[in-house]
Structure 1
Amino acid sequence: MSTSAMNWNKTLSYLRRYWVLYAMLILPIAFFITFRYIPMHYIQIAFKEYSIVQSPWEMKWADNNGFEYFIQAFSNRDFIYALRNTLMLNFLDLIFGFPAPIILALILNELVFKRFKRFTQTVVYLPHFLSWVIISGMALQLLAPTNGLINILLNRMGFDSIPFLNDPVYWVGTYVVLGIWQSVGWNTIIYLAAITGINPELYEAASVDGAGRFRKIWHVTLPGLRPTIIVLLILSLGQILSSEFDRPYALSNKLVTDVSNVISIFVYNYGIRGLQFSLSTAVGLFQSVVCVIFLFAANALAKRFGERGIW
């Protein structure tokens, strides 16, 4: 029997054995093709003059070889401010928000009382299920400069009110803290799951060598978490230019628009409210391309330092 015939028989045998797994992939593949890849031909709108009565293939090309709306975007002061704010807020989220679930997972893993541990996990998970509209309402009740609960307590203790939501500097700090509070518990699940996969014999060996609790965390738990940390860090860097809409929009007000207007709000104002669909599509395409570049760069950097990366 020839080599090609043997390989074909092996392939058929493999498919007969695992055909159920491939059948289960049909629905997710169909979903991605239908809702992720087919709509991608509308990317052409970024390079063409939008017309509601024409398909993207029939629209006229924009001026400057199709890059007219990209030029308009980078000539728009609102977009430059939105780009700056998006990078600033995402960078602060990465610096302060990324280590938070790691620290919380390490603390929860060291808790001795199992009931208290489960109770704490439940409490820190709950904010994830609250919408930012609800969170912004809670923040307004707690942090309002005149009638907010926090400032009322500060005034009674003899301190001045703090403009948490009305001063740009305080607003950025409040934005980051609320983001950590809302997401830290949910992200901790991943790290707790990774910790359970660490071989218990490593902790026993560390105990035999005289390692204390902090030494075990440093030399056993954190190295065991490193692959998970690297993968999630790469994915976070791949979203460095992406921006939520509901979080900054719900927390924003006219006093802090200089720091709260991000790219998603810019697209909403110019695309949906201003009906400039080509301009907003160009901005969205630029945003996606930059995120992909960061993703590939972070993955390549991780592999260069000996890590597995995400592919």
Structure 2
Amino acid sequence: MKTRKLGNLTVSSIGLGCMGMSGMYGSADEQEAIATIHKAIELTQGGAAFLDTADAYGVGHNEELIGKAIKGKREQVIIATKFGLASTSKDGKAMPVNGKPEYVRQACEVSLRRLGIETIDLYYQHRVDPNVPIEDTVGAMAELVKEGKVKYIGLSEASAKTLHRASKVHPITALQSEYSLWSRDVETEILPTCKELGIGFVPWSPLGRGFLTGQIQKFEDLAPDDWRRNSPRFQGDNFQHNLNLVTLVQKIAVEKNCSPAQLALAWLLAQDESIVPIPGTKRISYLLQNLGALDVLLSNEDLVRINTIVPKGAFSGERYPAPLMQMVNI
């Protein structure tokens, strides 16, 4: 397994997003999820298996699950978790955000207990709280670093302006935001700002919430309790328009002798050395397929062709329902 740097933090070049292990995309099997985490650890023998979770995933269940999986294996993993959301949304409604300094400490203590660890490697604010100055929130996170409860800090779905303000309080190691072939809005201001400030970038949903894999062919393929049923990009005419674009991506993948998912991940990896995608899965088979993207080499001609077929803004529909769109890039 190759590694990359997020600021001064060394992690596996492709991380493992664990949210789906707690039921956001339909049912999940806990034993299979733990086996998947163990396989990720096995494949990163250098001790940099990059696991991503949050206290909101499964309302704490995801952190507890990871805690079980890494017991006796702490030195082999890099744990990233988040605070600031009371829960994740399955109905497309806005979620309460809390960036108050006293809450930062409280949330960290709870996450440490659930994970069964003494120090969180990378601690993100899950969403920026518009009612609390970012300087206050990051200041509280910086105190946790001084106390040894957190090694590095990050933000999620923050604007370029917020990144500049936060970086004046404490170095920001990573920004986690949605980025993929079908969500490229960060390319305008946010990625250049990360480059300027030396902030690593961690794309979540690098496979377009699974759409870029080519496995979803109709709306009914989504389980009744699947969060994606509320996503505008999976609804109505947007679905067919986006599916047509994925078909074009699939044709290039066939030519490159790889899966569409591997092509999408290879495209992200080729954008910059400071980018570390965290595709989510709860199955070993998909984990292995995702890691196969590291062997897909894209030439400049390949990248130009992909950009021509699916340029920025090509996919139809907002990436979130309206209430949730108001919570990003603050």
Asked if TM exceeds 0.5, the reply is no
TM-score bracket relative to the smaller structure? under 0.3
Greater relative contact order (CA < 8 Å, ≥ 6 in sequence): 1
**Per residue, is there more helix in 1 or in 2?**
1
Of structures 1 and 2, the larger Rg is shown by 1
Q: TM-score, normalised by structure 2?
A: 0.21
TM-score after normalising by structure 1: 0.22
